[in-house]
Amino acid sequence: MHPRPATPADLAAVVAIERACFGDEAYTHLQLRQWLDLSGPLFVVATVDDVPVGHAIGAVDHAGDGWVLALAVHPDARRHRLGHALTTAVLDALDARGVDVTRLTVTPDNAPARALYGALGFVTEAEVDAYYGPGAARLVLRRTRPR
């Protein structure tokens, strides 16, 4: 289950993963298609029998900083370190592009994700109230590329 770049053929499965993980807050097919077009090899999937069971999306912002925009592993495929593998694949691709700083956001109460990101070198940079609207605070985590 080594991550590989996503393709348009993966999108239906990725949408299903999003819905299983995030319900009404899931990215739509259109949003995911646009991220695929914009992110290219920074949009990765992990597969079982060539069917995606998890994905991660990275991007580079206008200032040249990297972002991990999404990470999701289908509930039936968890506990196999896929989240770690997917995030590492995005970070490696960002590092290869010379990106020095990478950020991501996570809900303050998501202890498993915070532990994963901490193990990958992310530290809390800020807590932003209403990041996604009223009552939707997020932690902004930051990682500096290892030298």
Whether pTM > 0.85 for this model: the answer is yes
pLDDT at 21: 93
DSSP 8-state symbol, 56: E
pLDDT at 68: 97
Give the closest residue to 87 by CA, choosing from 48, 126, 55, 124: 55
pLDDT at 133: 83
Residue 1 has pLDDT above 80, yes or no: no
pLDDT at 8: 96
Residue 146 has pLDDT above 90, yes or no: no
| Beta pairing partners, 57 | 43, 70
How many angstroms separate the CA atoms of 9 and 56, rounded? 16
How many angstroms separate the CA atoms of 116 and 114, rounded? 5
How many angstroms separate the CA atoms of 87 and 70, rounded? 9
pLDDT at 132: 81
Q: What confidence tens digit (pLDDT) does each residue in 87-144 have?
A: 999 999 999 999 999 999 999 999 999 999 999 999 999 999 988 888 888 999 999 9
Name residue 132's amino acid: Y
Q: What confidence tier does 77 reach under pLDDT thresholds 50, 70, 90?
A: confident
Mean pLDDT of the chain: 93
Strand order in the sheet with 51-60: 4-5, 43-48, 51-60, 66-73, 101-106, 138-144, 123-128
pLDDT at 135: 83
- In order of their start, the domains of the chain are 4-144 (3.40.630.30)
Residue 147 has pLDDT above 80, yes or no: no
